[in-house]
Amino acid sequence: MAPPPSTVVSPVVVLMVRLLTFICLLISMIILTTNTENVALQFGEVKIRFNDVYAYRYMLATIVIGFAYTLLQTAFTIFQVSTGNRLAGGCLYQFDFYGDKVISYMLATGSAAGFGATIDLRSGLLGFGSFFNKANAAASILLIGFFFSAVSSVFSALALPKRG
Amino acid sequence: MAPPPSTVVSPVVVLMVRLLTFICLLISMIILTTNTENVALQFGEVKIRFNDVYAYRYMLATIVIGFAYTLLQTAFTIFQVSTGNRLAGGCLYQFDFYGDKVISYMLATGSAAGFGATIDLRSGLLGFGSFFNKANAAASILLIGFFFSAVSSVFSALALPKRG
């Protein structure tokens, strides 16, 4: 069996994907945390905020952790693009590989928990349509952010130093 | 920078992890699909089934796809353990790598969507506690299945043929 051709990805492409992840997480975080709605009911006004729904709290937690990690990785990659050297040498490849894997799984679960809560709560709480639509938008953008982080995870697996 | 030592995992360990994934998915599927509850309300009896909740339908879809994939991979791995040869040579390494990645992401989202729906619906539908507890059990076992599939995904990334 012939080994496949070398598949090391250009650091500029890596940086682009990290930046796209970063932007998606930022937009998702802003939409989610500013999402409040006042609904007038018979007995008075009810205010609903994102942290009234447990799934959205979990979603925010995954966004914040993913945001911090992506910021760190973006800084590392900018350093690599500008100097041509990989900071801290080979051990960072392992950190990238496991870090990207864990963070991309986390973002996937954050987005899925958001969707899972939204779709079934919305049908029960029809008056809060706009609130759940915004939450859906945040979960969708988080899903896009997850796709980019999954691409980063593939890149970091392909970039693992050759073994054997 | 010195390359890390060879990290190819024994096929027996790979097979064990696949079998554990398989068992978790099977148990989760059985708990989820047999989950029905009849609740007596003032105006009559209400029957709730897992497919009344959209998030649980998605969860079942991820379990079924993950189940079929794991069955296939288990068969391949048994072939490999018993004959010592890898079926179809090198292209299967790529299939393992991307397949395990996609399936493990899918299982993670299935479990998270189940949890996301359960935690917030349960607080609104107090009479259906037993139904949501069983759904939670299914989501928990699916989560364990996801962990095993994530381990498979790490193994298949480490087993990618060395690149030049």
Tens digit of pLDDT for each residue in A93-148? 888 899 999 999 999 999 999 999 898 888 777 777 788 889 999 999 999 999 99
**Domain residue spans of chain A:** 11-158
- The per-residue pLDDT for range B107-162, each reduced to its tens digit, is 999 999 999 989 888 877 777 778 888 999 999 999 999 999 999 999 988 888 75
Query: Cα-flanking dihedrals φ and ψ of residue B126, to 5°?
Result: -65, -30
Of A5, A113, A163, the CB nearest to B113: A113
Provide the ipTM: 0.83
Please give the pLDDT value at position B34: 92
Q: Per the CB < 8 Å rule, is B90 touching A4?
A: yes
Cβ contact B120–A53 (<8 Å): yes
CATH hierarchy code of domain B11-158: 1.20.140
- List CB contacts (< 8 A) between A162 and chain B: 3, 162-164
- pLDDT tens-digit map of B28-62: 999 999 998 888 777 788 888 888 888 999 999 99
What global pTM score does this model have? 0.86
Give percent above pLDDT 90 in chain A.
47
pLDDT at A162 over 80: no
Rg (CA), chain A: 19
Contact list in B for residue A161 (CB cut-off 8 A) is 1, 3-4
A52 to chain B: closest CA residue:
B120
> Cβ–Cβ of A113/B108 closer than 8 Å?
no
Average confidence (pLDDT) over B93-100: 89
Mean pLDDT of A55-83: 91
- Residue B132's alpha-carbon distances to B50, B62, B116, in angstroms, are 9, 19, 12
Q: Which residues contact A91 (CB under 8 A, 6 or more apart)?
A: none
> Taking a C-beta distance cutoff of 8 angstroms, is the pair A146, A111 a contact?
yes
Contacts of A6 in chain B (CB under 8 A): 163-164
pLDDT of residue B37: 86
Which chain A residues touch B49 with a CB distance below 8 Å? Answer: none
Q: Enter the tokens of residue A32.
A: 């989610």
**Least reliable range by pLDDT among A152-161, B20-29, B39-48:** B39-48
pLDDT at A15 over 50: yes
Residue B2: band (very low, low, confident or very high) from pLDDT cuts 50, 70, 90: very low
Q: What is the structure's pLDDT at B164?
A: 38
Interface of A with B (CB under 8 A): 1-8, 53-55, 58, 89-90, 94, 97-98, 101, 104-105, 108-117, 119-121, 124, 150, 153-154, 157-158, 160-164
Angle at the Cα of A36 (from A32 to A41), degrees rounded to 5? Answer: 145
- Which residue is listed with tokens 């890898």? B86
Query: Per-residue pLDDT averaged across B12-23, rounded?
Result: 93
Are B58 and B124 a contacting pair, CB within 8 Å? no
Q: What value does the mean pLDDT take over residues B69-76?
A: 92
Q: State which residue of chain A sits closest to B52, comparing Cα positions.
A: A120
* Cα B143–Cα A61–Cα B62 angle in degrees, nearest 5: 30
Radius of gyration for chain B, computed over Cα atoms and rounded to the nearest angstrom: 19
Average per-residue pLDDT in chain B? Answer: 85
Cβ-based contacts of B88 with chain A (< 8 Å): none
